[in-house]
Amino acid sequence: MTTAPSAPGKLGDALEPAAIQAYLGELDTWLRVRRSELDELDQAALAAGRGAELTNDMSLALALWKAISDRYQLVFTTWDGGRVLRQERERISALIWGRLDGATELPGGLAVSLPEAGRLCDALTGQLRNRLALVPGADAQAARIRQLRAQFERIRDQVALEPAISRDDAIHRLAELMSRLEVITAKAERGGDVGGMLGPLEVEATTFERDLIVGNARRRDARDQVISARELRADLEAREAALQKLAETCVATVDPAPRYAVPDVDALGPVPVTPDAIGPYLERLDRVSQALEIAQHAYSAALEEHTQLVALLDAYVAKARASGVAELPDLAASEQSARGLLERRPTPMAVAKQLVTTYQTWLAKETR
């Protein structure tokens, strides 16, 4: 099972370009692989007649994946192929380490950062895989033991974040899990079959890791509301800047383009510090967050429509070449017209769709 990449720096850092580029590449790979894994698990749950039983965990895993995917898009847009100055690199840090609560409705009002969401999604996916018995058999026992050791290291990091009042209990539970793993490892080294012992330990470890991540996130969310408002405002400012660039790209690429106004976070004024004012201010921040999300999806959908239209024309042309008719005058002229219009900026989408349809009609006529 793939695991979410480690994020560079911390909140407020001006991240190094090389670190940003490497992280984006790893996160893109993780998103694609994780989506495939979740689809596999969903199909396995339905095939086993356990869809209803696993709905909550599967829904949370998919919600986390969607929140991470949306945030990746904003980071990637801000990255702009590496054309970033210090201000953009600080915005990327805020996007990575800021809260994702504005991106997706998560159960219990959960507010986590991008790295935390990745680790939580990893833990949930592991738990789902174990419950569905999709983990390899005895021939993979050594790999499963290595994965558990790596998981215990992640758990050790989470235990260090526990408050003093509960840290001793968490340390004791981690020690008990590690002791059980040592017993299993010793038995496996003697040639024993430990498959039946690994499964329960993996379930307990993933549940413990998930609980630690969720507990830490909820404790942080329960801290002073003024600090929460400042974090959310910083996140919104970074999203606003990224969305502004996305909107400009969309308007320059397609016509008609969505005409959603990008909310101005500065118009909200400074974060208040009085108990009576902070609650309404947080509500206004949430409304701005929702408006940013709606605008982002609209602009992304418009750009995706243009990309799909280009891909559709490419597919028709490939079919024409395979049929040996691509160079016929009518088809060649039709392709040139459609291609030229799709390359125009902005592309008049209604006319471009008609020209692609015209090419399809010529192709159908010539391949009868």
Average pLDDT over residues 338-348: 95
Backbone dihedral region for residue 9 (phi beyond 0: left; psi -120 to 50: alpha; all else: beta) = left
Average pLDDT over residues 149-165: 89
- Kindly report, residue by residue over 195-248, the tens digit of the pLDDT: 788 889 999 999 999 999 888 877 776 567 888 888 899 999 999 999 999 999
Average pLDDT over residues 94-117: 75
Pairwise pLDDT comparison (136 vs 17), residue with the higher score: 17
| Domain residue extents for the chain | 17-220
Q: Across all residues in the chain, what is the average pLDDT?
A: 88
pLDDT band for position 192 (cuts 50, 70, 90): low
- Kindly report, residue by residue over 325-336, the tens digit of the pLDDT: 999 999 999 999
Average pLDDT over residues 144-168: 88
pTM above 0.75, yes or no: no
Average pLDDT over residues 114-131: 87
Q: In the chain, pLDDT over 90 holds for what percent of residues?
A: 58
Tell whether omega for the bond before 346 is within 30 degrees of 0, i.e. cis: yes
The helix/strand/coil state of 96 is: helix
Q: In the chain, pLDDT over 70 holds for what percent of residues?
A: 92
Cα separation, 232 vs 336, whole angstroms: 48
The answer on pLDDT for 135 being more than 60 is no
pLDDT, residue 103, reads 46
Residue 280, Cβ density class (10 Å: 0-12 exposed, 13-18 middle, ≥19 buried): exposed
pLDDT, residue 77, reads 93
Q: Which pair of structure tokens corresponds to residue 366?
A: 């010539």
For the chain, the first-to-last Cα distance in angstroms comes to: 48
pLDDT, residue 138, reads 42
Give the count of beta carbons closer than 10 Å to the beta carbon of residue 319: 14
- Kindly report, residue by residue over 236-279, the tens digit of the pLDDT: 999 999 999 999 999 999 999 999 988 899 999 998 877 678 88
148 residue type, one letter: L
Average pLDDT over residues 315-342: 94
String of DSSP letters for 254-308: EES---PPPP-GGGG-SPP-SHHHHHHHHHHHHHHHHHHHHHHHHHHHHHHHHHH
Cα separation, 230 vs 238, whole angstroms: 12
Residue 47, Cβ density class (10 Å: 0-12 exposed, 13-18 middle, ≥19 buried): exposed
